[in-house]
Structure 1
Amino acid sequence: MTNPAPEILQLGYFRLGVRALDWWQNFAALVGFGQVSDAPAGELQLRTDAERDYRIAVHAAPVTGLSAVGWEVAGPRELATVGERLRVLGSGVRDASFEEKTARKVEDMIVAVDPDGLCNEIYWGPNTALRIPFQSPTGTSFESGACGNGHVTVNVADSQSTLDYYIQGLGLRLSDAAWMEGHSRVYFLRCNARHHSFAFAQMAQRPPGTVHVMADIANLDSLGEVRDRLLNAGITLSRDLGSHPLDGVVSFYVATPDGFEFELATGTRFIAEDTWASDRFLRTGRPWGHRKPLPSKDRK
């Protein structure tokens, strides 16, 4: 079931539809994302590194949550291979328009929709003409590079259909499948050494859609400084600092006004392909934290 050589190189970006764009502008500044000055009107584009134009795009939309996930491949051959596999599965696949490719600043792109209607944009040829140095306005260090940055997590209507789509069609690999407290079975999928770039569960208590998105911070000190800035500004944490032993992170979650969470994390596990079959059973550590913070009049 697993593709031994995924064509997908990395999670290049994700796009979020939101209603409260002003909140996101403030949140991005507090975290320390770089902001693209010439982004389209009504869109906030956020940078974490100098390798890509942006990693996160936030745009005004009547429906909130993930509007698209961008997956990068090496070239036209890999794009054609992924497209053909998705068509064999019966997935709706179309060529992106010239306007869509221009907006994403890519050479070529196809657009495919997963079983729950989530739009996947598979592309090659990201913009490399202009190497714009990256420096966070707050000094935040992000974990970005060849493996991308962060991940997305969604709730789905049918786990098996989603597994088939993302493994057999898109070509991702299964890193872990685990029963987690308060959830049904959660599946973690990777496209490179990053433990996962896409995760999903089938939770009957909520409709299909976005659960949370995540950005990687490079070290614990930077994560702690981000947490302090958010709390001092009155931003609500839905879950405070805690540990996820599966992917190795320490993280906290922010309650966004658009119905999903934003996880900020450090310590992402990177997988060695030739030893992961045994390594995943040798991990140590226990989950802790991620409590709902107690209310406080003075967070400073």
Structure 2
Amino acid sequence: MANRESLDIFGASSMGYAVIESNHLESWRSLFQDGIGLHLACDDEQAVAFRMDSHQRRIIVQRGRQEDFIAVGWQLRDQETLTEVLLRLKRLGIQAENSDPSEAAQRGVKEFWRIVGPKGMAVELFWEPLITDEPLTMLNAGFITGIAGMGHLAITSRKPQQMRRFWQEIFDARDSDHIVERIAGLTLDIDFLRVNERHHSIAIARLRDLPMDPVRTRIQHMNLLTISAGALTDAFLRCRKLGFEMAHEIGEHPNDREQSFYVMTPCGFEVELGWNALVVDEAQWQTTSYQGISLWGHRPEKTGTWRKLTTNLGNFGRGVRSLLKPEYSPL
């Protein structure tokens, strides 16, 4: 048996659930149930929750004022992996707090351990999800989950190196590739990290030579994968018919070859729904750098001059305001 110092947990973790706080529960229900096409698992005055597979909960939107993505549930393979992660956290001086039963039940897990991660986002560690065999009732034909998890997060940061350390030193994340994107005269560097066969579970974006963060929320987007081009197109048409703004219409990324669209959420971050993302073969994979985030498509729905001006001014204003407060990093 490998000793603890050399234990590699690559492939033993994945994104397990998402927790969002918002006072716009009705809009969230419309987006996820009627637009993206998830199964509505809970609907009351304080929260709405959704399924996409046998897990009792995958996305929870709880009532509150933050209007933000507040926690990601990070699933570990087994108790041994959890023990290893907790030991790493202790060595790094990061405190982990055990959940109470009501919190765990809300998230659809037996228990979890919470740490405060980069940008103040809670990372909730668990290994025993609550499973149900209740049939799914949803508009989408299905989602890709399994050992690679439910999706990925993209996060903007003024401390990208510390954020990379967090995912690499705690979860043995590996570099998948890098993209350089030019937006409104600025250069954006994006690093893609994987913790399993999914091309990336975390993407970290930073403005080159500018210590600003133009995104108000803790994440820039959350990604889910559906099972076919037809399911993707149907969800795109449903979201647009419901009146949700398309941040980026259907297009294809050069690195993971995923075809996807991005829809604006009631909190202001985006949800990306995609399909056909490649699965990494560790024996063959080589890290590559790309110019441009899209091979084709991914055009914004609103492209007028006034829209571009107000968007750029808004991003610049948020970037300037970000200079007035420190970005939290646990490392």
TM-score (norm 2): 0.79
Residue pairs, 1:79-94, within 5 angstroms: 79-94=82-97
Which residue identity does 2:301 align to in structure 1?
P
Question: 1:102 deviation in Å?
Answer: 3.4
User: 1:3 offset after TM fit, Å?
Assistant: 7.7
Larger proportion of helix: 2
Question: Displacement, 1:31?
Answer: 2.0
Work out whether residues 245 and 263 of structure 2, in 8 Å CA contact, stay in contact via their aligned partners in 1.
Answer: yes
2:295 to 274, 282, 287: 287
Alpha-carbon shift at residue 293 of structure 1 (Å): 2.0
Q: Is the 8 A contact 2:258 2:274 kept in 1?
A: yes
- Offset of 1:281 from its aligned partner? 7.8
**Aligned 8 A contact 1:17 1:61 in 2:** yes
Higher mean displacement: 23-32 or 183-192: 183-192
Q: 1:233 Cα deviation (Å)?
A: 2.4
Report the CA distance between 1:35 and its aligned residue. Answer: 0.7
Runs of at least 5 residues in structure 1 that lack an aligned partner in the other structure: 296-300
Pairing 1:237–2:246 present: yes
Query: What is residue 313 of structure 2 aligned with on the other side?
Result: none
Q: Aligned-residue CA RMSD in angstroms? A: 2.6
Q: How far apart in 1 are the matches of 2:302 and 2:117?
A: 38
Q: What is the Cα deviation at residue 291 of structure 1?
A: 0.9
Which position in structure 2 is the counterpart of 1:78? 81
Q: Would the alpha carbon gap of residues 77 and 205 (structure 1) be closer, same or farther in structure 2, given more than 3 Å must change?
A: closer
Contact 1:186 1:200 in 2 (8 A): yes
- Return 98-107 or 252-261, whichever deviates more: 98-107
Specify the alignment match of 1:186 in structure 2: 190
CA distance in 2, matches of 1:44, 1:8: 29
Q: Does the 8 Å contact 2:251/2:294 carry over to 1?
A: no
The aligned counterpart of 1:147 is 148
Give the letter for the 1:241 counterpart.
Answer: I
Moved more, 200-209 or 105-114: 200-209
> Aligned partners of 1:281, 1:269: CA distance in 2, in Å?
16
Counterpart position of 1:256: 265
Structure 1 residues 210 and 81: CA distance shift in structure 2, 3 A: same
Asked whether 1:133 is paired with 2:135, we answer yes
Aligned match of 2:280 in 271, 282, 285? Answer: 271
Distance in structure 2 (CA, Å) of the matches to 1:3 and 1:238 = 41
Aligned position for 2:308: none
Contact 2:171 2:195 in 1 (8 A): no
Change in CA separation of 1:235 and 1:3 when aligned onto 2, cut-off 3 Å: farther
For the pair 1:175 / 2:176, whether they are aligned, the reply is yes
Query: In structure 2, what is the Cα distance between the partners aligned to 1:108 and 1:229?
Result: 36
* CA distance in 1 between partners of 2:237 and 2:243 (Å): 10
Matching residue of 1:32: 37
Residues 60 and 8 (structure 1), Cα distance of their counterparts in 2 relative to 1, 3 Å cut: farther
1:211 counterpart = 2:220: yes
1:16 aligns with 2:37: no
SS state at 2:192 partner: strand
Aligned position for 1:201: 205
Match of 2:325 in 1: none
The answer to whether the Cα contact below 8 Å between 1:143 and 1:216 also exists between their aligned partners in 2 is: yes
Specify every segment of 5 or more residues in structure 2 that has no aligned partner in the other structure, as ranges: 1-5, 304-331
Contact 1:19/1:258, CA 8 A, preserved across alignment: no
Q: Aligned to 1:154, what secondary structure does the other structure show?
A: strand
Question: 1:8 touches 1:71 (CA, 8 Å); kept in 2?
Answer: no
Tell me how far apart the structure 2 counterparts of residues 40 and 84 of structure 1 sit (CA, whole Å).
38
Contact 2:36–2:140 (Cα < 8 Å) also in 1: no
Shift of the alpha carbon at 1:10?
1.9
Is the contact between residue 45 and residue 58 of structure 1 (CA under 8 Å) also seen in structure 2?
yes
Which residue among 40, 44, 47 is the counterpart of 1:43? Answer: 47
Instruction: Report the Cα offset of residue 33 of structure 1.
Output: 0.5
Tell me which residue corresponds to 1:6.
10
Cα deviation, 1:86-135, whole Å, max 9, x if unaligned, reads 2222223222233333333433421111232111001111113x322224
